[in-house]
Chain A
Amino acid sequence: DTGVSQDPRHKITKRGQNVTFRCDPISEHNRLYWYRQTLGQGPEFLTYFQNEAQLEKSRLLSDRFSAERPKGSFSTLEIQRTEQGDSAMYLCASSATGASGANVLTFGAGSRLTVL
């Protein structure tokens, strides 16, 4: 297993377009997280899945954002009608359940979005 994979690594789009990011977590991890990070700031929590269930969403996740994890494996994060303020690094992370996995997240390298 090569860790958490994210695709694409870089995306440049025009304002108003839709974009979708994919995350493939570590196979035995049943928890998956999305974070957003802007320059000079720490990652901000967006949403969290346990298996296929989306259990928590941040207020940062406006109605233009939607995340899915249809079979409890990979996840997608879609941003509709992108705005320049959506420009950021979108990070995916996964973790195991139980004491050994508690709060130990493995992050991917991120997908950088630039909205022109």
Chain B
Amino acid sequence: DAKTTQPPSMDCAEGRAANLPCNHSTISGNEYVYWYRQIHSQGPQYIIHGLKNNETNEMASLIITEDRKSSTLILPHATLRDTAVYYCIVTTRGATNKLIFGTGTLLAVQP
């Protein structure tokens, strides 16, 4: 699986958009980008995933660059409850479905 690089921490004002970057310059053609988040004292929670097209769901939007070497998770209107560690994971959709987590980005939403 390709390695990902994320900033260790970011701040965002409540009500503003939170844009979380992820670099995955060694991504291969059959690898997907997955985002999970982990709120304090809870297990990780799936947010969104994509291959090469931009994706949007009720939680967030995922923007993947044309060369697929980086992506951005966008929380359009961050709330205090979005304070969490956000993990970007690149993996194939193989038989194992095993996810390898890095250390993620701690997003602190400020009131």
Contact = CB atoms under 8 A, between A and B. Distances in A.
Interface of A: 4, 31, 33, 35, 40-45, 48, 55-56, 91, 93, 95, 99, 101-110
B21 interface: no
B87 A105 contact: no
Given A33-B98, A35-B101, A103-B97, 14 more contacts: A4-B43, A42-B103, A42-B104, A45-B98, A48-B98, A55-B96, A95-B97, A99-B93, A103-B93, A103-B99, A105-B97, A106-B46, A108-B43, A110-B42
Interface in B9-59: 32, 34, 36, 41-46, 49
B101 A103 contact: no
A40 B46 CA distance: 19
Contacts of A107: 42-45
B102 interface: yes
A103 B100 contact: no
Given A102-B93, A103-B91, A103-B93, A56 B43 contact: no
27 contacts: A4-B43, A31-B97, A33-B98, A35-B101, A40-B103, A41-B103, A42-B87, A42-B102, A42-B103, A43-B44, A48-B98, A55-B96, A56-B96, A93-B43, A93-B44, A102-B97, A103-B32, A103-B34, A103-B89, A103-B91, A103-B93, A103-B99, A106-B46, A107-B43, A108-B43, A110-B42, A110-B43
A112 to B, nearest CB: 9
Interface of B: 32, 34, 36, 41-46, 49, 85, 87, 89, 91, 93, 96-104
A91 B87 CA distance: 16
Contacts of B103: 40-42
Contact of B96 (A48, A104, A106): A48
B108 to A, nearest CB: 15
A40 B104 CA distance: 10
Contacts of A106: 46
Contact of B101 (A43, A48, A99, A108): A43
B95 to A, nearest CB: 8
